[in-house]
Chains A and B, each alone.
Chain A
Amino acid sequence: MDLDFTAAEDAFRAKARAWLAEHVPATPLPSLETADGFAAHREWERELHSDRWSVVSWPEEFGGRGASILTWLIFEEEYYAAGAPGRVSQNGINLLAPTLFEHGTDEQRARVLPSMASGEVIWAQAWSEPESGSDLASLRSTAERVDGGWRLSGQKTWSSRAAFADRAFGLFRSDREGLEAGKPHRGLTYLMFPLDADGVTVRPIGRIDGKPAFAELFLDDVFVPDEDVIGEPGQGWKVAMSTAGNERGLTLRSPGRFTAAADRLTELWRAQADPADTALRDRVADAVIGARAYRLFTYANASRIAAGGSIGTESSLNKVFWSDLDIALHETALDLLGPYGELADEADDAPAHGSWAEGYTFSLAGPIYAGTNEIQRDIIAERLLGLPKGRR
């Protein structure tokens, strides 16, 4: 058992750190949930890509560096420690790309991945529907087979980034039999579609601070060619679940985000907090301990994967842990900031260019998306502890 990095890993860390020190914008970009911020973040993706830092874990032929999970974790630690911008491409890179690597065709990979890596095409996810949130498999949007492709109809919602994104991916019901037989996971097809296609209407939704972080999508007889189906028609649930594991598991929330935020919180506490306020001190310590625990837990998972194992239901533990940690950490920072804690991220006076305020707003969504924490706790209880199934 060890926590040691190889000389090659240390060299990779040094190289990433040097590049980031030279390129990360001195002042944070505007919120990526605004039109200006989205454009600035897209430009940042292009800059990352030009030196092959946008998708380090992908194979070299698609613009990556073929990084192992551990090397990717090192990159993420350096990335967030450098205060680099949030990743506007993360839906595509973390959700769609792993699915394409596992279930896509060579043609799809060659067509979709390069423009994703460069930020030229930004992807939004289209999972939830007005009547299908945690119970995603009950979804009703349809894909009807026509000559040479499919026609999509229905309504998607809570589609992150869709207000400004270019394309989307999601699940559609291509066969009603499963639903009628009480087996809603059957008969779903995984499709990609352009957000500017005929028949698509995007209605941005303001998140709790008003920024259009997600959108409703109305699909009215939208034509999608066969080449945009991922995996076999009707097998969409299985295909999608391989990305859901990714979203909740290692990929979407790398520990680097939390260790960097905990370090910044510690600096803030040292600089500004009342040393006699031990209640606050304890909360800062808990954020530091939590971030460290999450990092170590992830190292253990990465070691397990490197040893040929896999991470399944355990990703539900991850999701509950990091999402609660993220909120607690940002709440502590805002409390510490006193009168400045309530300032919106766009306020001129907002501390740290609004990054605590923006981070707090962002963190509030964590326990809700990618399967609410209530659903995750059900999964933990039933599949890891073996407790009997009950009513949701």
Chain B
Amino acid sequence: MRFLLDDEQREFARSLDKMLSAAEPTAAVRAWAAGDTGPGRALWARLAEAGVFALAVPEEHDGLGPLPVELAVAFGELGRHAVPGPLVETVAAAALLGRLGGPVAADRLPGIASGRTVASLCLLSPAAPYALDADCADAVFVVDGDALLLADAAGPVQPSSDPVRRLARPVGGAVLRRGPEVASAAAHAAEVAALAVAAQALGVGRALLAQTVAYVGGRRQFGVAVGSFQAVKHRLADTLTGLEFAEPLVHAAALALASDDPDAGRAVAAAKVAAGEASYAAARSALQLHGALGYTEELDLSLWIRKARALRTAWGTPAQCRARVLAR
């Protein structure tokens, strides 16, 4: 057993971190939220060049995957830098099409791998009526029972509490495939999506913690750095503890998906709960410890705070995931 990322995986994370730090994605986030996806699409192309989307696409369709561990590594960095767009939905769609195979996979997957196709995905149910960024994605896939459809259009955008998440109901669509294999591929896609969200949430939490540690180290009140107060320290110590213990669950869930472990669904659910809670706790700490400044929209911190809230329920609410952990 060597339950540690290997050198290549670490280097992959470092190179993405470096690329995204230089790209300053927060401007792309604000543009995307305002309806201008241009800067976000440029960033998307660079992520595709780095191989991020190919990780979810099988080799026979011009991909590198499926490589769930590397995917989790990548989504950690995407979360850390608050990258906009239907990232999770695109890799989940790739997982779904990859499982299905056939002409629809051959038709669509190379575009996803290369970054030409920004995809969204909705596994239609009363609990999941929306497709993220359906209004600006190139292809919106919908699974309705045992049918896979390609939506014709998107309904009006319902603003999310995370302004960069453009939620819309997919409208109409031609049936691409029908059969029991669609439902089982969709179940797999949901697990890949939940893993990606968990990894992304972990990255969001790490970014929130880092920004807050920096802030309380510099902010002075009563003649000392507020970060020297025990109430502040202990809150941040708990934030770090939550994130540190969520990370191995995310890695183990990725390994379970990589080996088609029959327990993968439970492992992913555990990772989603832990990472979602840790990330949300980091957001609450960040908000509280930045004081009134943290409650402003103009501070970029708000981009991460609001994302942590949305990711908590995206692709599996805490209660659904907890129930899954205990399911036989």
Using CB atoms and an 8 Å cutoff, list the residues of chain A in contact with chain B.
1-5, 9, 70, 266, 269, 278, 281-282, 284-286, 288-290, 292-294, 296-297, 299-300, 302-304, 306-307, 317, 320-321, 374, 376-378, 380-382, 384-392
Contact = CB atoms under 8 A, between A and B. Distances in A.
A284 B319 CA distance: 12
B237 A299 contact: no
A285 B326 contact: yes
Nearest to B246: A293
Nearest to A385: B213
Contact of A5 (B1, B233, B325): B1
Contact of B240 (A70, A303, A380): A380
A385 B237 contact: yes
B217 interface: yes
A299 B1 contact: yes
A377 B246 contact: no
Contacts, number: 147
B6 interface: yes
A288 B271 CA distance: 12
A302 B3 CA distance: 8
Interface of B: 1-6, 9, 69, 209, 213, 216-217, 224-225, 227-230, 232-234, 236-238, 240-241, 244-246, 248-249, 251-252, 255, 270, 273-274, 318-319, 322-323, 325-326
Contacts of B249: 289, 292-293, 296
A1 B228 contact: no
B227 A299 contact: no
B1 A2 contact: yes
Nearest to A382: B233
A296 B252 contact: yes
Q: Is the interface of B mostly helix, strand, loop or mixed?
A: helix
Contact of A2 (B2, B227, B240, B318): B2
A185 to B, nearest CB: 22
Given A269-B326, A387-B228, 11 more contacts: A1-B9, A1-B251, A1-B255, A3-B3, A293-B270, A296-B3, A303-B1, A303-B2, A306-B2, A376-B237, A385-B213
Nearest to B255: A3
B6 A1 contact: yes
Contact of B228 (A4, A303, A390): A390
A390 B326 contact: no
21 contacts: A1-B6, A2-B2, A9-B1, A269-B326, A282-B319, A284-B326, A288-B326, A289-B249, A292-B252, A292-B270, A296-B3, A300-B3, A300-B4, A321-B245, A376-B237, A377-B234, A381-B236, A385-B233, A385-B237, A390-B224, A390-B233
B237 A297 contact: no
Contact of A300 (B232, B233, B237, B248): B248
Given A2-B2, A296-B251, A386 B240 contact: no
Given A1-B9, A3-B255, A266-B326, A299 B3 contact: yes
Contacts of A294: 245
Contacts of B209: 385
A385 B236 contact: yes
Nearest to B325: A285
Contact of B245 (A4, A266, A297): A297
